[in-house]
Amino acid sequence: MSYVQSLLNFIDASSTSFHAVAHLKQELAAKGFEALNEKESWELKQQRKYFVTRADGSIIIFVTPKNWTPNSSFKIIGAHTDSPCLKIKNNPISIKEGYQLLNVEVYGGVLLNSWFDRDLNFGGRIILEDENGQLGQKIITVKKKLRIPRLAIHLDREVNKKGFTPNPQEHMFPIIGLREDISFEDWVKEETGIKGNILSWDLFLFDATESSFGGIDEEFVYAPRLDNLASVHASFEALKASDFSEGTIQMAVYFQHEEIGSESQNGANSNFLEATLKRIQAFVSREEETFYKTIARSFFISADMAHAVHPSYANRHDPNHKPSIGKGPVIKSNANMRYATDAFSIAKFKQWCQKANIPFQDFCSRNDIGCGSTIGPMVASNLGIPSIDIGNPMLSMHSIREMCGTRDHDDIIKVFKEFYRG
C-alpha cells in the first residue's frame, strides 16, 4: 500500500499548524479516538485510543495496551506541525504608492527569495468576541490570492551577478489590492462569513499551489511544508495501522514552534509531553519512582526531515555522509548533541529498519558547517528518555516549496510500524 497520495492530501489540508491539528482531530474522531481535555479529569482504560491538544497547534495521540501494568513502557514518535513562513503582524495594513500591502514578519528560518512571485493564501486562527463578551475562536483560510512581486531585471541589471538578497523589513510585503476603504478585520469577515468582533489572530501566509508528484517516474513529491508534515503524516499513519500492544503505550506527539526554538506553552521545551506521560502513568501507579523506571524502559524517535545531497552543491556535505533521495531514512548524528542520537539509539533504530527490510543512511554535517537541531535533544534532556533523531532525505528545505522521494515516505512508515510493534 502506498501512502504518498494521502501525504499530498494531508499537506494541502494542513496549511498551518492549526489546520494540521484540526485535520488530525477530525480523522482521529472518525477512527474512534477519544478526545481528552487538560482542564478536566481523565478516566483512562486499557486497550483504548485517546488524544489531547494544547493551544490548538500541538497534539498528543496515544493508544493504551492490552495488559497495562506499572512495568509497561512508552514508545513515542515526535515531530512538529510548523514550518518556516511569514506571519501577519498585529497592525497588518500599509499603503504605499497606491498599493494596499500586508505587514508580515518572518517566522523561522525562511528561504526568503523563494516567496517571491508565488501565489499565496493566508490562514490560521482568529479570536472572536460575541455580543456577550465571550471569547471564541475559528480556524480560517482566506483563499484570495496574494503575491510578493520581484523587481524587474530592467530595474536591477546586476541581480544575476550579485545575487538577490531581499531585506525582510523592506521587501517582504504581499500586495493585497488597490483599495483603501476596508479594514483588515472587515476584509477577513467578508471573505470568511464570520460574525463577531475579531480581537486577535495567529495568521500565516502559505503557498496556494497544490502538492504534486514529479520526476520521470513520479519518484518525487513537490510540496510545501514537507519539513515537517511528512514526518507527522508518516508516524500518524503508522500509529493508526498498529494493533494494540501487549504492554506498551504507543504514542505520537506533534509540537508547534519547533522552527522558532520550541520555547512556548506547547512547544517541545514545554511540559506538555511530560505532564501527559505522568497523567497516563497515574492510572497504573502514582509512585514517582515507578514513572522514572517506565521512562528508562521507553524510547523516543524524533522524526524530522534530513538534508539529501544536492547534485550541484555536493561539497556542502561531508564526503562520507551524503544521503540520497530514494535510499531510506537518515540517522542524524552530531558530536555536540545537536541531535539526540547516540550509539545505543542507533543500534535500536537499525534493528527496526532490518526487521522492516528497509535500508538506512547516515548523516553528519561537515565540520565547518554548523548543524541544525530538532525537538530530539529537548525531549531527551527534559525526560531522560533514550532517543534518536532520524528523518527522510529532502531537497530545498525551508523553501516555500520542497521536494522528497515517494519511495522514502512509504519506507519510513514501514519502519515506524516495526517500532510500534517490536
Domains in the chain, ordered, with CATH? 4-83+224-421 (3.40.630.10), 85-207 (2.30.250.10)
Question: Residue 181: which pLDDT band, with cuts at 50, 70 and 90?
Answer: confident
- Per-residue pLDDT, averaged over 366-391, amounts to 95
Instruction: Write down the pLDDT at residue 168.
Output: 96
Residue 422 confidence (pLDDT) above 80 = no
Residue 107 confidence (pLDDT) above 80 = yes
Instruction: Write down the pLDDT at residue 370.
Output: 87
Instruction: Write down the pLDDT at residue 179.
Output: 85
- Per-residue pLDDT, averaged over 236-251, amounts to 96
44-82 tens-digit pLDDT:
999 999 999 999 999 999 999 999 999 999 999 999 999
Residue 280 confidence (pLDDT) above 90 = yes
- Alpha-carbon distance of 138 to 128, in angstroms, equals 8
Residue 226 confidence (pLDDT) above 70 = yes
Min mean pLDDT across 180-189, 296-305, 382-391 is at 180-189
Percent of the chain with pLDDT over 70: 100
- Per-residue pLDDT, averaged over 191-203, amounts to 94
β-partners of residue 177 are: 100
Instruction: Write down the pLDDT at residue 84.
Output: 98
Instruction: Write down the pLDDT at residue 372.
Output: 87
Question: Residue 1: which pLDDT band, with cuts at 50, 70 and 90?
Answer: low
- Per-residue pLDDT, averaged over 303-312, amounts to 97
111-165 tens-digit pLDDT:
999 999 999 999 999 999 988 889 999 999 999 999 999 999 999 999 999 999 9
Average pLDDT, the chain: 96
Instruction: Write down the pLDDT at residue 254.
Output: 98
